[in-house]
Chains A and B, each alone.
Chain A
Amino acid sequence: MTKNSNKILTYIFLVFMTIVFAFPFYFLIVSATNTSVDVTSGRMLPGAAILDNWKALAERTDLLRAFKNSSIVAVGQTTLALLVGSMAGYGFEIYRTKTTDFIFNFLLSSMMIPFAAIIIPLFQLFGLISNVAPGIGINSYASAFLPYISTAFLIFFFRQNTKMFSRELLEAGRIDGLSEFGLFIRIYLPTMKNTFAAAAIITFMNSWNNYLWPLITLLTPDKQTVPLLLSNLGSSYAPDYGMMMLAILISMVPTLIIFFVLQKYFVAGMLGSVK
Chain B
Amino acid sequence: MMHMSNTKRTKVMGMLFIAIPTLLILLFYFYPMLRSFLLSLQSGMGVNLSWVGFANYRRLLADPVFKQAFSNTLIFLIFQVPIMVVLAMFFAVLLNQKTLKLRGLFRTIVYLPSVTSLVAYSLVFKYLFSNSGIINQFLMSLSIIDSPILWLSDPVLSKIVIIIAITWRWTGYNMIFFLSALQNVDPGIYEAADIDGANSVQQFFKITAPLLKPVILFTSVTSTIGTLQLFDETMNITQGGPGNATLTVSQYIYDLSFKYTPDFGYASAVSFVIAVVIIVLSALQMKVGNRND
Residues of A in contact with B (beta carbons under 8 Å apart):
6, 10, 13-14, 17-18, 21-22, 24-25, 27-28, 31, 39-42, 44, 84-85, 87-88, 90-92, 94-100, 103, 107, 110-125, 146-147, 149-152, 155, 163, 167, 180, 184, 205, 208-209, 211-212, 216, 226-227, 230-231, 233-235, 241, 244-245, 248, 251-252, 255-256, 258-259, 267, 270-271, 274
Contacts and interface: CB of A to CB of B under 8 A. Distances in A.
B14 A96 contact: yes
A61 to B, nearest CB: 14
A48 to B, nearest CB: 19
A91 B36 CA distance: 31
B153 interface: no
B20 interface: yes
B239 interface: yes
The 10 residue pairs across chains A and B that have the minimum distance between CB atoms: A91-B17, A95-B14, A42-B137, A150-B24, A88-B21, A121-B32, A209-B117, A118-B32, A117-B275, A112-B282
Given A84-B21, A122-B28, A112 B231 contact: no
Contacts of B3: 94, 96, 167
Contacts of B86: none
A114 B225 contact: yes
Given A110-B25, A118-B33, A95 B11 contact: yes
Contacts of A119: 253-254, 257, 271
B106 A95 contact: no
Nearest to A28: B124
A87 B119 CA distance: 33
A246 to B, nearest CB: 12
B229 A115 contact: yes
B21 A87 contact: yes
Contacts of A88: 17-18, 21-22
A6 B200 contact: yes
Interface in B114-128: 115-128
A234 B126 contact: yes
B120 A274 contact: no
Interface of B: 1-4, 6, 9-11, 13-18, 20-22, 24-25, 27-33, 35-36, 39, 91, 94-95, 97, 100, 105-106, 109-110, 112-113, 115-128, 132, 134, 137-138, 141, 168, 171-173, 176-177, 180, 200, 218, 225, 228-229, 231-232, 235-236, 239, 249-250, 253-254, 257-258, 264, 267-268, 271-272, 274-275, 278-279, 282-283
Nearest to B279: A112
B264 A120 contact: yes
A271 B115 contact: no
B18 A91 contact: yes
A251 B120 contact: yes
Contact of A100 (B18, B141, B271, B274): B18
A114 B274 contact: yes
B229 A211 contact: no
Contacts of B113: 21, 24
Contacts of B6: 97
B30 A110 contact: yes
Contact of B119 (A114, A121, A205, A230): A230
